[in-house]
Amino acid sequence: MSSAAFDWRAARHQPGWLARLFDWKPFLIFICLLPAVGLLMVFLTYPLGLGIWLSFTDSTIARPGAFVGLENFEYLMEDPVFWQAVFYSVFYTGVATIGKFALGLWLALLLNNHLPFKTILRAIILLPWIVPTVLSAIAFWWIYDPQFSILSYVAVDVLGIRERNFDFLGSEWPARWSLIAANIWRGIPFVAISLLAGLQTISPSLYEAALLDGATPWQRFRFITFPLLLPILAIVMTFSIIFTFTDFQLVYAITRGGPVNSTHLMATLAFQRGIPGGQLGEGAAIAVSMIPFLVFATLFSYFALARRKWQQGEGND
């Protein structure tokens, strides 16, 4: 009997000091968090602070620059191009978000029906979101070509509803609307697929109960679908607003801010002043001016999330 007990003890492997160190929880937690937190600290938190610092300096590409206080911001306050960019950023975000969510919600409701080839359909619909934005933006640039636009061809030669070609990118407002259309096109799939996931979590028994009570389709949407979709809608919308507001690629690829600076977003203006223009301080000041908008959107997200947890009675898990 005792020999069996001895064997059991001998078979047990005694770990070395290194193995024991790695089994010590505080050390293991530290080691596990080190790569992620380290990278984020060095390449995200530090640049965020550095960006705020740069916005108070007059640094250029060539030299580090000195602290100038609020001079950059004072200069921007009097710069009509900056205000135009602020206006267009807000306008672009507002209109594109409304368009994306109206159409995306519609598409999600359509996809929530029983359809043949549903999986393939979902896969195809996500394509505009998968493909690099710049590359689809180039396709839009070609579609918006003043001379060889396919849309103009359809309108002028096929349907005959117009005399002359569309001038998509040549003047202010058409260029603004064209960019918004391209942004909506790219945003619909993400919104639709996310909202579809939300729709599928709604229990069908609620709709059955509503049908028995004689609810109309509109009432079913208004009093069941919409309220239950609201939490996901709020989160997806926050993301969408943040990434539309700070959009860069689409505008840079199609118009580069033109004609006459009318389609500059804050991000493209910051890039133009900061990198090719060399005025790092001014570019950083424009980028920093985006932060208040983003903080607002994030707080919105946080409270939507918190409310959802409270509603579902979910613990902290």
Partner 1 sequence: MAAAEQSAVQAPELLSWDSKARRVVVLYVPLACFLLILLFPFYWMAVTSFKPNAELYDYTTHNPFWITSPTLDHIRKLLFETSYPRWLWTTMLVAFAATFISLFASVLAAYAIQRLRFRGSQYVGLAIYLAYLVPPSILFIPLATMVVQLGLFDTPFALILTYPTFLIPFCTWLLIGYFKSIPYELEECALIDGATRLQILTKITLPLAVPGLISAGIFAFTLSWNEFIYALAFIQSSENKTVPVAILTELVSGDVYQWGALMAGALLGSLPVAIFYSFFVDYYVSSLTGAVKE
Nearer to partner 1, 40 or 77 (CB): 40
Q: Which of 66, 77, 98, 131 binds partner 1 (CB under 8 A)?
A: 131
User: In this structure, how many other beta carbons lie within 10 angstroms of the beta carbon of residue 296?
Assistant: 13
Provide the minimum distance between the beta carbon of 43 and partner 1 in the complex, in angstroms, as a whole number.
Answer: 5
Provide the minimum distance between the beta carbon of 87 and partner 1 in the complex, in angstroms, as a whole number.
Answer: 17
Provide the minimum distance between the beta carbon of 287 and partner 1 in the complex, in angstroms, as a whole number.
Answer: 5
3-state secondary structure of 259: coil
Question: Which part of the chain contacts partner 1 (CB under 8 A), choosing from 73-81, 166-174, 202-210, 269-277?
Answer: 269-277
Cα(271)–Cα(262) distance, rounded to whole angstroms?
A: 15
Report the site for partner 1 in 140-199 (rule: CB under 8 A). 140, 142-143, 145, 148, 150, 153, 157, 185, 188-190, 193-194, 196-198
Spell out, one character per residue from 195 to 224, where the chain touches partner 1: x when CB under 8 A holds, - when not: -xxx--x-----------------------
* 96 in Cβ contact with 186 (< 8 Å): no
Report the site for partner 1 in 295-314 (rule: CB under 8 A). 297-298, 301
Cis ω for the linkage preceding 15 (within 30 of 0): no
Report the site for partner 1 in 9-38 (rule: CB under 8 A). 12-13, 15, 19, 22-23, 25-26, 28-29, 31-37
Nearer to partner 1, 22 or 226 (CB): 22
Provide the minimum distance between the beta carbon of 74 and partner 1 in the complex, in angstroms, as a whole number.
Answer: 19
Handedness of CA 146, 148, 153, 157 (dihedral sign): positive
Does residue 276 come out as left (phi exceeding 0), alpha (psi in the -120 to 50 range) or beta?
A: alpha
Phi and psi for 87 in degrees, rounded to 5? -60, -45
Q: Which of 3, 119, 205, 216 binds partner 1 (CB under 8 A)?
A: 119
Size of the site for partner 1 (CB under 8 A): 100
Nearer to partner 1, 7 or 23 (CB): 23
Nearer to partner 1, 217 or 223 (CB): 217
R_g (Cα) of the chain, nearest Å:
27
3-state secondary structure of 67: strand
Alpha helices for 43-156 (secondary structure H): 46-54, 71-77, 80-111, 118-125, 127-130, 133-143, 150-153
Cα(181)–Cα(177) distance, rounded to whole angstroms?
A: 6
Cα(260)–Cα(172) distance, rounded to whole angstroms?
A: 8
Let me know the angle formed at the C-alpha of 265 by 242 and 294, rounded to the nearest 5 degrees. 25
Residues in the chain: 317
Q: Which of 99, 187, 257, 283 binds partner 1 (CB under 8 A)?
A: 283
Spell out, one character per residue from 226 to 265, where the chain touches partner 1: x when CB under 8 A holds, - when not: ------x--xx-----xx--xxxx--xx------------
Provide the minimum distance between the beta carbon of 92 and partner 1 in the complex, in angstroms, as a whole number.
Answer: 13
Provide the minimum distance between the beta carbon of 133 and partner 1 in the complex, in angstroms, as a whole number.
Answer: 6
Q: Which of 99, 187, 257, 274 binds partner 1 (CB under 8 A)?
A: 274
In one letter, which amino acid is 105? L
| Tokens read off for 90 | 């807000």
| Tokens read off for 22 | 């790695």
Spell out, one character per residue from 86 to 115, where the chain touches partner 1: x when CB under 8 A holds, - when not: -----------------x--xx--xx-x-x
Q: Which of 6, 7, 48, 102 binds partner 1 (CB under 8 A)?
A: 48
